Structure 1
């Protein structure tokens, strides 16, 4: 059975914080009386999933793939007109998805879940969960010797991760190709793979994040890999040193996402906070936005315009590489957690499910 996606007028788009993820999970239905560990329990069929909260969306070639609460994974092969659910090996909440190639994709979420597909999202298998990650991190750092503060902090955090029974979420994933990638999450938890996820190495000690702040998003912008997190944390990978180094920004407000246009990079997040750089993160300028709502998603249209979307369902557009933004139309119902663009259309995931948004032509944005 397929689910038809509603088409809505110009609207907005917000995305995810842990609180919003929790709210989305509660909205999906009543819990079963009998407990089944979501780490190992396949997702149940959800006939109305396209109209219930969904957390993230990605393009796998011409196909669209979306993930959400309780391990739900949906596919569309007709530009989001209809959706169908495919089997998922877990019922943990999935919060982020990306495809490095039209065939190879990864999804991550609560309970430290990392799922992988090699056939464009049609089938999925589990590569890692929180307990496995905690044991891997503890084993890796217990074998390291030395007196560096980074190593000591990594060993201490590994012990806490294990004591938590691996109960920490991965919040985002990035792969450069079908082999090299990263998963990131709460309390500076980060793992790297060079073989497509068959094996993982913790990078906790390779991140300039002494307070173990949450890592919210990871993206390669141009040739540079960035991480954004809470309390204004922005990091850039030093390829030579193989270390994520901290960048100075004019904000201590949490960042939830990154978007770019040409040489411009924008970090956006809590309560309408956004900053931009044109020099690879060396200097930043604060952007004045027509909203005070948290910005939770961003993207770029085919014509180069930038989009930001808020927790209030507002869609903001810029035609000058993020120097200024204008609000478009009326907001969509509820928060929107993720978006992807196709031509002049935006497909969004949010509290009200999946929908397509028609945008006006570039000349109509002023």
Structure 2
């Protein structure tokens, strides 16, 4: 098996600046296996990564379409009670980087200097993965929950999708070290959570209201002509032939509270790279023909991995990978939104549609 690429992490401010969170602490960022989340020599027993889970990515693996998003008009100019829906924005994986999220939302005019919703009837979708690896995952969730209420009051909305790290945190809290059947042995949510960058201070501050909110998140939605989902995998097809079926099935599994069932959803939603290879466009079309839309917008797989911008021969460059914006690939049918904030990349907040 080819050697795993080396990550070069840039310098980051670990202390969250907004909103202030009691009991938060400065932590080092933990990065796991970029494919499955597990370092190969520390995988829980029974976790067997598939070929698509592995971070073996060459620059020729993707169809690279340069994208220069047009400057978005100030979101706060959208009328609160205007006719029709407001502008649509999507946010890539946050992973606890609250400072970067606040800065990116302010840059798009979605929040004001005090962190309050200032975008009128704009529509904002988070693509999942709010916690783990970064310094303040619970602060991120608290911010998104508050903005959801403020946006609704202003005539817009702020909503979120369920990522694999939401499933992981729910499982770690509910099931802890209870063994689960991984399909090839046993594993535990607690071990998987720690190996995927779980932060103790997030678990300490995790409350029932956070668990309830995460458990109710949808897995797939369609907005305008975009199919939004967290993971670049076709595993969603296993949960239903309609968007409603997929979301209902995932919610029912979480409600039943069976550790093995929740693990199976987590495992499938951790798969990646279904859209980047030669058969990528066909995989995208399978999802689009089933659930509707003309483009998929996803997070989960960092753009630096999709583009092969990971590591250097010299090993001296600490500036991190270059991420200018979303990555459009798979014959223009897929948009990757995970800018690799955990590896000194960029936390992306972008208005749709993109021109390519």
Q: TM-score range by the shorter chain?
A: 0.3 to 0.5
More helix by share: 2
TM-score by length of 1: 0.32
More strand by share: 1
TM-score by length of 2: 0.33
